Amino acid sequence: MTTQNSKSSRMTAPKIGLVVSTALASVALSGCTTSAAPPALTSFNKAQVALEKGQVDKAIAFAEEAVYAEPRNSGFRAMLGAAYLEAGRFQSAATSFEDALELGDEDPRTVLSYALAKTAQGDNKAALGKLSQWEGAINPADYGLAVALAGNPERGVHILTNTLRGGDNTAKVRQNLAYTYALAGNWRAARVMASEDVPADQLDARLSDWAANARPEDHKIRVASLLNVSPSSDGGQPQRLALGNFPSQQMMVAESEAQAPVQVAAAPEVAPKVETAQNATAKPTATPVRVTARNQAALPVAAAKPAPAVKPAPKAAAQPVRKPAPRFVSNAVVQKVSAPSVRPAARTGPSRVAPKTSQRRMAVASGVKATHLVQLGSFDSRGVAEAKWNEFQKKHPELKGHDVVITEAKVNGRTFFRVAAAGFTSKSARNMCGTVKSDGRGCFAYAASSPPKGAVDRGIRIAARTR
């Protein structure tokens, strides 16, 4: 009798359509592409089987492997979120579902799962905001209950009442409405509606359960009870799986194309100044100019050497002034390199740097021809950016010996930390990017005098340890 009552209770409990169990297969596979790596698919399949068997820890481990192997697959992210949700890890679940949606997942169940995870965290604003965006795509029976759980039970009652009156008179709609009445504090209506499907000998127990978790601060318990899971401590999704660590090829290309090349005007020919006795003491000097975003098109030009002041030169021929070698705004060196290992660049022109400025050449070890950098990725934190540089070097030995430049940037309101390798000529930078792209990663080259837009600082330059 107890088993039968328990089964009846589950059948008449409030329900919401989430991304869980076997229903997920079509969602995850829809996010796969023809280039999906077999290891990712294998891990996904194992996660699916483990989740169906209730082996939540195994499901999480396999799902994390699948995401790491193919980080921009929305279905794999949704699977990982479902596994986290089954484990009661609401923070991690919300992150994974949000990543899946950002990658293009359009399944309403993913939206509901995200909203429920945020509700469990007490973030009703985020839950209601996402639900509002997808209102037309979500089943009203699910939508009404989700809105009610997210702190707006009055609107939930309105939605579910209209759904019921519209002809969708099912046990799911009725029980969702009964629970929504309870969340709104209308216990009389909740009892009447619940009695439509709940046996009389179970009705008081059902209402008592709802009442026990009716306080606003019980949001986590309410969600866990609805899902029949136990909340667990959650430090968040592993940092190595953060979506920001894996920018798409399109993002890299778009950022590259957004950088308009800076045209440096050729230095004009300057005729020598003829001095007289009155101006013989005024000697022009070449003043170094700091290259900034506002004046980067105007490089300093050395003044012509004046003629002797004894008498006017009869017809001095105009001599072209040599253009100074390129100068670049460098980045603060945070790891000092011992003096013997630093090879000063050979000077080929009259370019100067004021002795007290922070300007230095970008890549001292490669000489004055090191005019370009290669951007390898953009990440959510500086720590991840530094770790990724080590991975890039292991993957591409050609990068060893190059300094890494980590620059903080803001793009569309988000903060990123860009990782670039310094010390390339224009040609070698293109070749390096070709190598990186052939491995399926994003990359673009840029001149040191024309850095990518969005930078909010001049970066952190760390000298290569291999010198």
CATH number for position 220:
1.25.40.10
Residue 148 has pLDDT above 90, yes or no: yes
Domain presence at residue 284: no
Instruction: Name the helix (H) or strand (E) containing 418.
Output: strand 414-424
* Sequential DSSP letters for 325-344: PP-----EEEE---GGG--P
**Domain harbouring 459, CATH code:** 3.30.70.1070
Same domain, 257 and 158: no
Q: Which comes out higher in pLDDT, residue 411 or 153?
A: 153
9-13, 119-123, 260-264, 341-345: which is most confident: 119-123
- C-alpha to C-alpha distance for 341 and 276, rounded to whole angstroms: 50
With bands split at pLDDT 50, 70 and 90, how would you rate the model's confidence at 259? low
Residue 375 has pLDDT above 80, yes or no: yes
Domain presence at residue 281: no
Same domain, 202 and 253: no
Residue found by looking up tokens 């993002």 in the block: 251
Domain presence at residue 431: yes
Same domain, 231 and 373: no
Residue 340 has pLDDT above 50, yes or no: no
Domains of the chain: total: 2
Residue 297 has pLDDT above 80, yes or no: no
Annotate 333-358 with b (16+ C-beta within 10 A) or e (fewer): beeebeeeeeeebeeeeebbeeeeee
Same domain, 64 and 157: yes
| pLDDT the model gives residue 233 | 87
The amino acid that residue 93 corresponds to is A
Mean pLDDT of 315-337: 37
Same domain, 372 and 449: yes
Residue 302 has pLDDT above 80, yes or no: no
Burial of 239 (0-12, 13-18, 19+ CB in 10 A): middle
- C-alpha to C-alpha distance for 112 and 346, rounded to whole angstroms: 63
Q: Which comes out higher in pLDDT, residue 122 or 19?
A: 122
Residue found by looking up tokens 């193919």 in the block: 70
Mean pLDDT of 242-259: 68
Identify the DSSP state of 309: S
- C-alpha to C-alpha distance for 40 and 289, rounded to whole angstroms: 53
| pLDDT the model gives residue 249 | 63
| pLDDT the model gives residue 34 | 38
Same domain, 333 and 429: yes
Burial of 390 (0-12, 13-18, 19+ CB in 10 A): exposed
Among 58-72, 90-104, 332-346, where is mean pLDDT lowest?
332-346
The amino acid that residue 352 corresponds to is R
Same domain, 254 and 189: no
Residue 458 has pLDDT above 80, yes or no: no
- C-alpha to C-alpha distance for 389 and 405, rounded to whole angstroms: 10
Q: Which comes out higher in pLDDT, residue 247 or 90?
A: 90
| SS3 track for 206-233 | HHHHHHHCCCHHHHHHHHHHHHCCCCCC
Q: What is the pLDDT of residues 72-111, one digit of tens each?
A: 999 999 999 999 999 999 999 999 999 999 999 989 999 9
Same domain, 255 and 177: no
Same domain, 160 and 251: no
- C-alpha to C-alpha distance for 370 and 420, rounded to whole angstroms: 14
- C-alpha to C-alpha distance for 276 and 283, rounded to whole angstroms: 12
Same domain, 454 and 354: yes
Domain presence at residue 39: yes
Residue ranges making up the domain that contains 406 = 247-261+326-467
Mean pLDDT of the chain: 74
Q: What is the pLDDT of residues 162-178, one digit of tens each?
A: 999 999 999 999 999 99
Mean pLDDT of 357-380: 61
Same domain, 85 and 232: yes
Same domain, 17 and 89: yes
Is the CB of residue 128 less than 8 Å from the CB of residue 151?
yes
